[in-house]
Amino acid sequence: MLDGEYSKERDQIRNLMQNSSTFDELFLYGPLDVDAHREQTLRAVKELIALKTVHLRDMVDNPKKFLMWFETISYCDPSVALKFAVQYNLWGGTILLLGTKKHHDRYLQDISDGKLLGVFGLTELGHGSNVNGLETTATFDLASKSFIINSPTWTSQKYWPGNISKHGKLATIFARLILGGVDKGVHAFVVPIRSEPTVLYPYGEVLEGVTIRDISYKSSYNGIDNGGLLFKNVKIPLENMLDRFSSVDENGKYHSEIPSNRHFGAMMSVFFIGRVCLSLLSLCSMKVGVAIALSYAYNRLQFGPPKQAEQPIINYTTTQRRLIPSIARAYAYDFAHKAISEPLGRAQDVLHSYSSGIKAFTSWDSVAALQLAREVAGGQGIRLHTRIGMLREHSDLVVTGEGDNTVLCQQVAKFLLAQYHKAMQSGSFSGELAYVNNLTGTTPSQVPIDLLSLSYQQLLLEHREYILVKELYQKIYGNNKTLATNSLEFYNKFNENLTLTIKVAKANVDRLVQGFFLDRIIKLTNTDPTTLTLLKNLCRLDSLVQIQKELGFYFNYNLLSSQKLYIQIDDTITQLCKDITPYSKHLTSAFAIPNKFHPLLNSIE
């Protein structure tokens, strides 16, 4: 049900991972040796590439296939997926998306084949979330017709990028372009950092003017050679500027198709797919961890009715409540990720908002689901061998990577705020908020409470998003409907209400995810009734759990009001979990996890 169009390719990948010992997770069994882990990770990436299931160009030509691929390789130690992301999405992606034909001809095939390993050098020690503020410089030198790359301060060192401390030969370095003493803002350049390989240095020697540091031990992803990178007067030729959006000619004349205040945003927006990839990685971790805990819960007997045999802990309602909603959530997010990667010609700002919000809540929910899964597995959940703890660590990285969740929620809220503002000015709702037009006269308090109705739930979710956006609008534009978004007042008001931006983003994602789930259900015409009911129950459960999380909102805004609803909603969730539990193993078997990555399948240790 979840494999989708590419089940053959997925099987190929899963078979490789199941059968090649390169994919054994060495951190489970032996001392965590960073060097060995890094080399094994690289080997694994190369074995995957050798399958030739996907090409770097699929990022643009066939994003759905590209995403399928990424999701499937996320089953194993996700250092592999991240290493792949560094090589394809980031290093390859900059060449593909910010470069032009000359760069494509020169680099793309070797990158796609895994022969030319590279670095995506965006983040600096001093600038992570606010990369637009980075400090590295690329100064045009008229005499030599070249750029000179420098790291003017300690904080300007490139910091974090994978492939820095060991494997990378070239790097795309984001730096401030300095032209005739004028700072033209951030642009991207290809900068060699290591020589051709030699016997002594299989990945080449670090070039002159380049200094490299090793970041070393992390709580996860130790297969990635993250590092720090400093430049001192490193000269690169003119053609190494990635010049899709803007260029410098031999005489030092600057040309750009995009106004300077939108230049950085345009460069960054091309990385939409990278965010979806990382989001899929955390979704995959969630699926696997929850499936492992479910196996334990079925195998583990503990306590039982008076004078009777012990019973499996899956029978306890708290166990069901800790696992079944996560399964529902995993299905909901699975459909949502597929939906946003459909080639529907959505505008860039819509895609940016969707991918930001969905990535934020997928990763947060994944971490939370894995915490519950680990608790269900008791002491076994602590063993590396059981994988759940590591999976949580893996997902955790996604929370602040490829855009920090808190910052991304602000962007979702800003997007919706702009839509609302437009509606206030034009007098009608359109775009993302078009649904508001259908809300009048249908406040949930006017229709009978029906907690299990998909459309009733939809109404609750829509009203919440709408009201919260309105509240945010009031807080910010309440006294001044024409407040400029780049004013100090806007900045201050926005920052005073940051927790509200998170609530807004959450409401938006809840509505979107439920909407995509409903679309999916509607499209399932040939499905047997049992499966259809099951899917509907998953959708109901997932929405009701999200509604319960914001119950205070619903009561306070009179969208729900009825005595004992607090208990009743909780009981309804418990009942839904109970109804779904008998199907839970089927549901997780659709995750199609290679056995190698599914410990406790038939045992309690």
Q: Which of residues 57-96 bind ligand FAD (CB under 6 A)?
A: 86, 90
Number of residues that bind ligand FAD (CB under 6 A): 32
Distance (Å, whole) CA 553 – CA 547: 9
Residues between 326 and 345 with contacts to a second copy, criterion CB under 8 A? none
> If binding is defined by CB under 8 A, does position 487 make contact with a second copy?
yes
Among residues 117, 116, 246, 251, which one has the least CA distance to residue 180? 251
- Minimum CB separation of residue 6 from ligand FAD in Å reads 26
> If binding is defined by CB under 8 A, does position 406 make contact with a second copy?
yes
Distance (Å, whole) CA 250 – CA 145: 6
Region from 71-79, 201-209, 453-461, 550-558 binding a second copy, contact rule CB under 8 A = 550-558
Report which secondary-structure segment, H or E, holds 470: helix 454-477
Q: Name the residue nearer to ligand FAD (CB basis): 236 or 397.
A: 397
Measured between alpha carbons, how far is residue 577 from residues 38, 364, 401, 530, 538 in Å? 42, 21, 32, 16, 9
Pairing state between β 146-150 and 137-141: antiparallel
Evaluate whether 255 touches 247 at the Cβ level (below 8 Å): yes
Q: Which residue in 348, 430, 556, 595 binds a second copy (CB under 8 A)?
A: 556
At 199, give phi and psi (nearest 5°). -60, -40
- Minimum CB separation of residue 430 from ligand FAD in Å reads 29
Q: Which two tokens mark 573?
A: 């969730």
Region from 51-59, 128-136, 170-178, 587-595 binding a second copy, contact rule CB under 8 A = 128-136
Q: Is 9 a catalytic residue?
A: no
Q: Which residue in 49, 173, 234, 313 binds ligand FAD (CB under 6 A)?
A: 313
Given the residues 25, 71, 124, 402, select the one marked as catalytic.
402
Q: Which residue in 306, 427, 441, 529 binds a second copy (CB under 8 A)?
A: 306
Distance (Å, whole) CA 464 – CA 22: 48
- Minimum CB separation of residue 214 from a second copy in Å reads 12
Q: Which residue in 6, 14, 16, 27 binds a second copy (CB under 8 A)?
A: 27
- Minimum CB separation of residue 560 from a second copy in Å reads 8
**Sequence-separated (6 or more) residues with CB below 8 Å from residue 545:** 325, 328, 329, 573
Residues between 151 and 210 with contacts to ligand FAD, criterion CB under 6 A? 160-162
Evaluate whether 91 touches 118 at the Cβ level (below 8 Å): yes
Residues between 211 and 230 with contacts to a second copy, criterion CB under 8 A? 215-221
Residue nearest to ligand FAD according to CB distances in the complex: 128
- Minimum CB separation of residue 50 from a second copy in Å reads 29
Measured between alpha carbons, how far is residue 369 from residues 53, 483, 506 in Å? 31, 41, 17
* 448, β-bridge pairs: none
Pairing state between β 246-248 and 118-121: unpaired
> If binding is defined by CB under 8 A, does position 209 make contact with a second copy?
no
Evaluate whether 123 touches 161 at the Cβ level (below 8 Å): yes
Among residues 428, 448, 447, which one has the least CA distance to residue 438? 428
Measured between alpha carbons, how far is residue 155 from residues 172, 200, 217, 371 in Å? 18, 32, 20, 35
> If binding is defined by CB under 6 A, does position 226 make contact with ligand FAD?
yes
Distance (Å, whole) CA 573 – CA 198: 62
Amino acid of residue 384? L
> If binding is defined by CB under 8 A, does position 499 make contact with a second copy?
yes
* 248, β-bridge pairs: 254
> If binding is defined by CB under 6 A, does position 400 make contact with ligand FAD?
yes
Region from 178-186, 199-207, 295-303, 524-532 binding ligand FAD, contact rule CB under 6 A = 295-303
Interface pattern 382-401 for a second copy (x via CB under 8 A): xxxx---xx--x--xx-xxx
Residues between 441 and 470 with contacts to a second copy, criterion CB under 8 A? none
Q: Name the residue nearer to a second copy (CB basis): 201 or 566.
A: 566
Q: Residues, the chain, total?
A: 605
The binding site for FAD comprises 123, 162
Distance (Å, whole) CA 575 – CA 586: 19
> If binding is defined by CB under 8 A, does position 371 make contact with a second copy?
yes
Residue 66 interacting entry, from a second copy, ligand FAD, none, C-beta within 5 to 8 Å by type: none
> If binding is defined by CB under 6 A, does position 132 make contact with ligand FAD?
no
Q: Which two tokens mark 68?
A: 């399928």
Number of residues that bind a second copy (CB under 8 A): 88
> If binding is defined by CB under 8 A, does position 350 make contact with a second copy?
no
> If binding is defined by CB under 6 A, does position 406 make contact with ligand FAD?
yes
The residues annotated with a catalytic role in the active site are 402
Residues making contact with ligand FAD (CB under 6 A):
86, 90, 120, 122-123, 128-129, 160-162, 221, 224, 226, 300, 302-303, 313, 316, 318-319, 375-376, 378-379, 382, 397, 400-401, 404, 406-407, 498
